[in-house]
Structure 1
Amino acid sequence: MTKILPVVFGFDIADYAFARIFHENSGLRSLVVSEIRRGPINDSSIFDIMMVPRGTLGHEDSFIALLHEIAAQHPDERLILCVNSDEGVEYAVKHRAELEGRWFLPYASEEAVKTANSKTSMAAILEALGLPTIPSVSVDLTDPQSWGEGLDRVRFPVVVKPEDGTLLNLYLHKGLKKVTPVNTREDALALFNKLRDNDVPIKLLVQELIPGDDTTQWVVNGYVDRSGQITAAGSGRVLLGLHVPSLIGNAGMILLDSNDHLIETGKRIVQAVGLTGFFSLDVKIDPRDGTEYWLDLNPRIGRGHYYLKVGGIDLAAAMLADMRGERIQYQTNTRDGIYTVIPMALASKRYLTDADLRAQVKIAKKNTVNPLAYSKDRNPRRHAYRALSYVNQYRQMKAFYPEPTASGF
């Protein structure tokens, strides 16, 4: 039998969790490829680490060359490409034909990936499905004369995002963020000018702000096999997001809550786009009238994907069955619990203002899981890192989100 080697690219919590689900599934030892050493991947016994020069993973030519190099170093192993960046997925699917002889790519076609990563294309698909869309306009930073006309078509406050999610990391160091809340037209113009002055020549999506604190956000994640069959899908309710400016838009704590309606709607969206492999979706429920607004579809596993494992869904099993061409029983939420990368004590009356939600959390917290706390990967240094991380999370919440707000920002 050919040995299987999951190859995980990165150093974040999602990347450690990627390696963990394979180890939990069948004891598979991964190879983690990273440009820097960071706490989530340091001092682990469940994978090996390969260090590469900075800039290798963020550029198409060097990334693809690295994949060929790894394949040459492991001639007798079946390699699984495990990447959780928009640009990494796009690079891989663009070169699928030359990679598939050695690599299994649990990602969709190049066309479907580009559709999922385009906010404009996704808005058109949501409209075609009869789903509500948030009023928004596209603003071209290279055409300042058009900015005013575009802003006339939305009501403030708004949020500003890159229209193409794959460009975020490319311009992150120049001030571009995953999502930026903007209160006034003047503030929007100031932001556009700042980005343009920093040589950020892209299109931005300006979207009317839907109110609601972190608890109005939900996530739906899963897996689609190569035949188009959805073999895993589950949902969770965000309790608290991460509020450090560079991480806004990412969940810090998720309550496992099986929302059949959201799961089924999410599956419709995924199938309309034509995705295969991993997927993750974000949805916000407007507290004013209960309207569901689907914000993002990511053609990858997602940063907080381990919440599904807390709920009883094994994404590694779904992916491995697909790779082997085997049928697998559909998986969805079967267990209550809480996924968290921040201290559980933050799930307090201060942030969870709804008494019914707090009661639900009180029951679910008996099964609270931090993906970095793995009983088969014990190391005093890892324990110390988690403890220090929790201290930092307290400080960051106090600094950036001391009280819940009506907007979540």
Structure 2
Amino acid sequence: MQDATLRAKENGPAGVVLLGGAHGTLALARSLGKRKVPVWLVSNDNPLPGWSRHIDRRLDWPGPDNADAVTCLLELARIHKLEGHLLVPGGDPEVRLVSQSIGALSSCYRIMLPAWDSLKYVCEKPLLYRRAAELKLDIPATYVFNSMKQAAGSDIRFPVVLKPNMGGGHDRFSRAKVVRADDKASFLAAYKDAAEHIGIDNVVVQELIMGGGESQFSYAALWHRGAPVAEFSARRVRQYPIEFGYTSTFVEVVEEPEVIDAGRRILESIGHEGLVEIEFKRDPRDGKLRVLDVNPRPWSWFGLADGAGVDLGAMLWEVANGRKTASVSARSKASWMYLVRDAVVAGKLMSSGRLSWREYLRSFARVRSWAAFSVHDPLPGLLDVPLTAWRVLTRRIFGFR
């Protein structure tokens, strides 16, 4: 079968197939939909993006962990005439599947993502931290154990956090994303539980860098042919949980040249292609910026890009179709908010005296994009709260997927 990129050049722009994801996928769909780009959603998980008026059609599939996942995507392309569409993974398991299967999937779809031989060095946390060290970038103190006995006899500095080596799992530990331990007993209990779920080699143990979202920064960008097309830095002003948030609740654009420089060095080392967000945290003890995580997909606050005047979604489409994009800068202090969760976080911060009512109310004036709500696409915003409540009930209480 002829390569999808060549066919796209011959036949003109096709559409976009979004594979999984949640709020980041929704924001990307809105960005593309505003430009009349046909958008398809293929998902077996969060239905939120599918309620957007910018999704032309939603298709179900068995998911990225299914043995026949690649065959299924190729069959969907054949049945629904999706050849030449840009395939954009919206979640971590989808990223891994597409990257590992670029050869097969590129026969039907266009893909802007490095092959796994390169991408794994930023997706798998142990490899990411090794690469960061090679690039002379700082990371949190990380502990490696080969057995429970070795972990029990170790001398580590508390508090620590336990994380899966890569996101996207459906077990209890992977869904939690981050587990905190403040002493040896709680650490060993959490480590044993995590190892039973994902295997001891897949559990990352790190010293917890103190400080809330005000210390956490991100590099956000679109890359093409190993160089940035557009980029900006942002600060996670508030997050949930407060000390080591697994999700952002209030994010604002800030100028942080050190974040930009570190992000570029990491991505240049793999010749990156496509969307990406890199998370850092500034250590209050020495002021050093430490690498935490890399997300080569639309991230939760992806909508901030459009709100800040750097529409990475539109640029992705332009670049994928061989068009030039104008050089733009993000509007300083432009912000994104996940209203329901941010209200919970703000309440906790105000009760502890770390945030005033006046500061909280002032933050609304800077919001240019919301996690789910949009005046022009209201249904996802209306359904986000009950949908989130239902997912918490079924996943965390009853243990359903």
Q: What SS is found at the alignment partner of 1:159?
A: strand
Q: 2:60 matched to which residue of 1? A: 52
Q: 1:302 matched to which residue of 2? A: 299
Give the counterpart letter for 1:193 in structure 2: K
**Whole-Å separation in 1 of the counterparts to 2:21 and 2:82:** 26
**Whole-Å separation in 2 of the counterparts to 1:116 and 1:312:** 27
Q: 1:21 matched to which residue of 2? A: 31
Shift of 1:76: 6.4
**Whole-Å separation in 2 of the counterparts to 1:275 and 1:267:** 10
Identity between Structure 1 and Structure 2 (%): 19
Matches within 5 A, 1:210-289: 210-225=209-224, 227-243=225-241, 248-289=245-286
Aligned length: 379
- Which of 103, 121, 124 matches 2:127? 121
**Whole-Å separation in 1 of the counterparts to 2:381 and 2:207:** 42
Q: 1:404 matched to which residue of 2? A: none
**Whole-Å separation in 2 of the counterparts to 1:366 and 1:117:** 32
Q: Find out whether 1:146 has 2:150 as its counterpart.
A: yes
Deviations 1:227-264 (A, max 9, x none): 2121011121112213399x942212111223233122
Q: Find out whether 1:35 has 2:37 as its counterpart.
A: no
Whether the 8 Å CA contact 1:178–1:249 is kept in 2: the answer is yes
Whether the 8 Å CA contact 2:249–2:338 is kept in 1: the answer is yes
Whether the 8 Å CA contact 1:21–1:314 is kept in 2: the answer is yes
Q: What SS is found at the alignment partner of 1:101?
A: coil
Q: 1:78 matched to which residue of 2? A: 84
The alpha-carbon distance between structure 1 residues 194 and 261, as it changes in their structure 2 partners (threshold 3 A), is closer
**Whole-Å separation in 1 of the counterparts to 2:136 and 2:130:** 10
**Whole-Å separation in 2 of the counterparts to 1:389 and 1:193:** 32
Give ranges in structure 1 of 5+ residues lacking alignment: 397-409
**Whole-Å separation in 2 of the counterparts to 1:173 and 1:354:** 31
Q: What SS is found at the alignment partner of 1:327?
A: coil
Q: 1:108 matched to which residue of 2? A: 114
The alpha-carbon distance between structure 1 residues 314 and 213, as it changes in their structure 2 partners (threshold 3 A), is same
Shift of 1:361: 8.2
Q: 2:22 matched to which residue of 1? A: 12
**Whole-Å separation in 1 of the counterparts to 2:82 and 2:385:** 40
**Whole-Å separation in 2 of the counterparts to 1:331 and 1:287:** 32
Whether the 8 Å CA contact 2:141–2:207 is kept in 1: the answer is yes
Q: 1:192 matched to which residue of 2? A: 191
Deviations 1:210-243 (A, max 9, x none): 1001221111111110x21210111211122133
**Whole-Å separation in 1 of the counterparts to 2:347 and 2:89:** 37
Q: 1:291 matched to which residue of 2? A: 288
TM-score (norm 2): 0.83
**Whole-Å separation in 2 of the counterparts to 1:249 and 1:76:** 34
**Whole-Å separation in 1 of the counterparts to 2:259 and 2:127:** 21
Shift of 1:351: 2.7
Whether the 8 Å CA contact 1:336–1:364 is kept in 2: the answer is no
**Whole-Å separation in 2 of the counterparts to 1:31 and 1:18:** 12
The alpha-carbon distance between structure 1 residues 355 and 372, as it changes in their structure 2 partners (threshold 3 A), is closer
Shift of 1:321: 3.0
